[in-house]
Every structure is written in structure tokens, then in C-alpha cells.
């Protein structure tokens, strides 16, 4: 597996590990060794999130998928103009996750997966900013009881699943949304108590 590196980050990658740790970022080798589950159909995931959120540079889209890769929830937000820091990115991602979907901390093993699509300038090669998003995604998933899924960059050249070598030219940061979108899971039954819950359960079983 090979990775490209942006020239702007080459000097910083030669610094000590303690510097990387202080910046709270993951380098490509660390991400590849983390056992991130592969998406079965990354293009469908990317196209669906692009059609739903129309991200532009500096926009992050975090999405939660069920075991069949159906979309359960997603949210987009604009990255603040500040130095890249995984701790700040973690807090932003966790805030969005808490807003759109309940946590799974009571489960022994996570069954839902969070993926992150980040639209940015530049090319698809790894940067320190990507490393900070990777660190933030992994930590936010741990704190919300989710599996940490793919980190995907979207640039004017296309999309790229970092650490996997899979990508494509469309959609990209300048393209219009494609005619199909990510499939969604059916909405859950309302959470109610007493007789109403029993009626709903019986109806669902028919």
C-alpha cells in the first residue's frame, strides 16, 4: 500500500513522534494499521452524501451507516479557520453525532459505523489536516459507541478513500449532485410506553 504526501507537510512529517502526538493526528501507517472496515460500495456512499449535503471546500460531512451501509443519519458543518487539531475536530464531530443520533455506548460491540467525508482544496495526497481529522473521527467514534469507518477526501480532482487507494473523478468539489443518493434505512418505530408500544409492536410483526 502506498501513500502520497503533500509537499507542504513533508517537513513536518520528519519531526519527532512527540510533535505529531501533541498535534493529535494520525499518520497514514497508523490509520492503515487501525483495522478500519472497508466500504463495500464507496462510490455510492460518496455520491449519496454529496447529493445530500453539496459540500464545498472546508465542509465536513459525518454520516452513520447501519451494517448494510444504509444511511441512518448525517450532518455537515464548516471547518473553523484555526490550526488543524484532532482534539478540536473530535469535539466538532462528537457534537454533530450527538445531535443527529443516540449513542451506542451500552453495546458491547459497535454495530453502526461513522464515516467522514471532508471537502478541501488541494489534491488527494495526505496532509496533516487529514491526519487530524482521522484522529478526531476515531476518538469521536469511541466516545459515541460507534465503529470508526472510512475517511474520505473530496477535492476538485475527485474523491479518495485515504488508506485504501480507492477513488474516482466524480463527484468532486465542483460537480453537481448525481441523480441517485445513498439508500436510507427505514425510520425506527416511535419510542412510547404502555399500551401504545404494544400496539406498535404487534403492527410491526404483521
Residue 61's region, left for phi above 0, alpha for psi from -120 to 50, else beta, is beta
Residue 183's pLDDT is 53
Q: What is the pLDDT of residue 96?
A: 97
| Percentage with pLDDT > 90 across the chain | 64
For the question of whether the overall pTM of this predicted structure is more than 0.75, the answer is yes
pLDDT tens-digit readout, 52-110: 999 999 999 999 999 999 999 999 999 988 888 999 999 999 999 999 999 999 998 99
Please count the residues of the chain: 206
pLDDT, position 77: 97
Cα–Cα distance for residue pair 38/84, rounded to 1 Å:
26
Reported as a pLDDT band with limits 50, 70 and 90, residue 204 is very low
Q: Which string of DSSP letters, residue by residue, matches the chain?
A: ----B-HHHHHHHTS-HHHHHHHT---HHHHHTTTPPPPS-HHHHHHHHHHHH---TTEEEEEEE-TT--EEEEEEEEPPSS---HHHHHHHHHHHHHHHS---TTSSS---EEEEEEE-SS-SSB-HHHHHHHHHHHHHHHHHT-EEEEEEEEETTEEEETTTTEEESSS-TTPPPPS----BPPPPPP---THHHHHHHHHHH-
pLDDT class of 124 with cuts at 50, 70, 90: confident
Specify whether the CB–CB gap between 190 and 200 falls below 8 A: yes
8-45 tens-digit pLDDT: 443 343 343 444 445 699 999 999 898 899 999 999 99
CB 37 within 8 A of CB 113: yes
Structural contact between residues 82 and 201, judged by C-beta atoms closer than 8 angstroms: no
Amino acid at each position: 500500500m502506498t501513500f502520497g504526501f503533500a509537499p507542504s507537510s513533508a517537513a513536518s512529517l520528519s519531526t519527532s513522534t512527540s510533535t505529531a502526538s501533541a498535534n493529535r493526528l494520525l499518520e497514514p501507517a497508523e490509520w492503515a494499521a487501525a483495522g478500519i472496515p472497508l466500504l463495500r460500495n464507496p462510490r455510492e456512499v460518496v455520491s449519496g452524501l454529496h447529493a445530500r449535503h453539496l459540500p464545498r471546500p472546508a465542509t465536513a460531512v459525518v454520516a452513520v451507516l447501519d451494517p448494510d451501509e444504509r444511511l441512518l443519519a448525517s450532518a455537515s458543518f464548516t471547518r473553523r479557520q484555526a490550526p488543524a487539531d484532532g482534539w478540536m475536530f473530535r469535539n466538532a464531530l462528537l457534537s454533530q453525532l450527538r445531535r443527529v443520533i443516540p449513542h451506542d455506548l451500552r453495546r458491547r460491540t459497535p454495530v453502526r459505523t461513522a464515516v467522514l467525508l471532508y471537502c478541501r482544496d488541494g489534491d488527494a495526497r495526505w496532509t496533516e489536516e487529514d491526519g487530524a481529522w482521522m484522529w478526531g473521527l476515531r476518538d469521536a467514534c469511541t466516545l459515541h459507541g460507534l465503529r470508526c469507518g472510512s475517511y474520505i477526501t473530496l477535492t476538485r480532482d475527485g474523491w479518495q478513500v485515504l488508506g485504501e487507494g480507492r477513488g474516482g473523478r466524480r463527484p468532486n468539489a465542483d460537480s453537481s449532485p448525481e441523480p441517485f443518493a445513498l439508500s436510507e434505512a427505514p425510520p425506527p418505530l416511535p419510542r412510547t410506553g404502555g399500551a401504545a408500544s404494544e400496539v406498535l409492536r404487534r403492527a410491526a410483526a404483521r
